[in-house]
Amino acid sequence: MGKAGEIPVPAVSCLSQIAPVSRCFGRPPRTGHACLPWPFRGRFLSCWAYLGAVSTKRKIRNILSGIDCFYGRRQRMDKLLNQFLAVAEAGTISAAATALFVTQPTLTFNMRKLEENLGVKLLIRTPRGVELTEYGETLYQNGRLMRRLYDNTLNAIAHQQGRTEQGLRIGSGYSWWTLFIRDMVLDYSNSYPNARIHVSLGNQLRCMDQLLSGDISLFVAHEIEGLSRSTGARLIPLTRVGQGYFVREGHALLGRPRTIAEVEAYPAVTSSLPEVRHQRFFEAWSRTTTASAPFDQGKYVFASNSLAACLDYVERSDAVLSHTEVMAEEFISRGLRQVSVTEPTRQSLIGIYVLLERAEEPRVAELIERLREKAATVLPPLE
């Protein structure tokens, strides 16, 4: 209770509790008011009218501390959410801490603080790193969507202000770059001479990571089996291609047709380097099925996200490179030979991955059409 004659003032703990008043009758102090963001100065003035006759330094401090509390909580939550997204994408606390330039104990403490704030368990610690709980998956998917929408909004504003001129940011595997994307990029450069062009080469999971992070607008790759629908990515089919097996000159598998079992008896080389952090892209049911086979560390003897490194290894060993058969001409020109097999090889769907919310954007739609036209000149038609 206040003293006699004093107007009681409720304790203010956050900005939302400051009731707006239509007119201001008092004069605010010069200190503090200028430090407030412009949208909230009116509320400060209105609140000052409420305190008019009984303003004291203590009450002013209560109001300002309430505003600071509001901003502080929001900033802390934004920071914790960004750190959580980094942990989910890195797959380990230590890797995320390195990327965020914070210490591992600090990041561990912040993740526990976030769990306390939300009242649910978000992460499960395992010997291999961390896994997301059901609540963690929900927070990750929605947090990533918010970040993506925010980035897209900034890009749209920048484009409206004329800061960008038809820039090109796409991803691709080495095969598709060699077969048709390289020519498409050159044509695009001729159409937009001042446009900045960014092409990221990598396997389909790495490109998916970049797509969801907003680093690229789309990418061309094999279909990712078991891909979670929550990623919000859509596959636009281009063609179907078979699998080929390639070895060095003079390899024991050459000379006559072989069964696939005979081919698979030799050490395997893959250019689709598996990374544990990419398992989050898959539906929960597929993580224990054949869709997660690439993450089985015993399926290959050499793996690299560099196709050139894979070719070097095959040329100097008895290992077998399993790759898209449409690259046979390119590989033969580099000194490899294709193994003839007695049975049909697996057919894979090739297409363009793009985010659902961006597929209808004029610039993205133009890129998709350009890719379709170039692909049709070198790839078999989709049946």
* pLDDT attached to residue 19: 40
Residues paired with 351 in a beta bridge = 221, 237
Average pLDDT over residues 10-25: 40
- C-alpha to C-alpha distance for 367 and 364, rounded to whole angstroms: 5
Residues 312-334: tens digit of each pLDDT: 999 999 999 999 999 999 999 99
* pLDDT attached to residue 291: 41
- Cα–Cα distances in angstroms (integers) from residue 138 to residues 145, 230, 283, 317, in the given order: 11, 10, 13, 46
Residues 236-246: tens digit of each pLDDT: 999 999 999 99
To 10 degrees, what angle do helices 57-90 and 93-100 make? 120
Average pLDDT over residues 121-141: 89
Can you tell me which residue has the tokens 């004069």?
27
Whether the per-residue pLDDT at 142 is higher than 90: the answer is: no
Whether the per-residue pLDDT at 337 is higher than 70: the answer is: yes
Average pLDDT over residues 325-352: 93
Average pLDDT over residues 202-222: 90
Contact at 8 Å (CB) between 227 and 282? yes
User: Residue 164 is encoded by which pair of tokens?
Assistant: 């960008």
Residues 40-63: tens digit of each pLDDT: 444 444 454 444 544 555 555 554
- C-alpha to C-alpha distance for 291 and 293, rounded to whole angstroms: 6
Average pLDDT over residues 130-145: 88
Q: Kindly report the average pLDDT of the chain as a whole number.
A: 78
- Between 116 and 9, name the one with better pLDDT: 116
Whether the per-residue pLDDT at 356 is higher than 70: the answer is: yes
* pLDDT attached to residue 283: 64
* pLDDT attached to residue 186: 93
In the chain, the domains with their CATH numbers are: 15-70 (no CATH), 76-157 (1.10.10.10), 165-376 (3.40.190.290)
Residues paired with 324 in a beta bridge = 243
Instruction: Please give the radius of gyration of the chain, using alpha carbons only, rounded to the nearest integer.
Output: 29
The pLDDT confidence band at residue 374, using thresholds 50, 70 and 90, is very high
* pLDDT attached to residue 274: 61
Residues paired with 320 in a beta bridge = 268
| Predicted model pTM | 0.60
**Range with the poorest average pLDDT among 53-62, 99-108, 122-131, 132-141:** 53-62
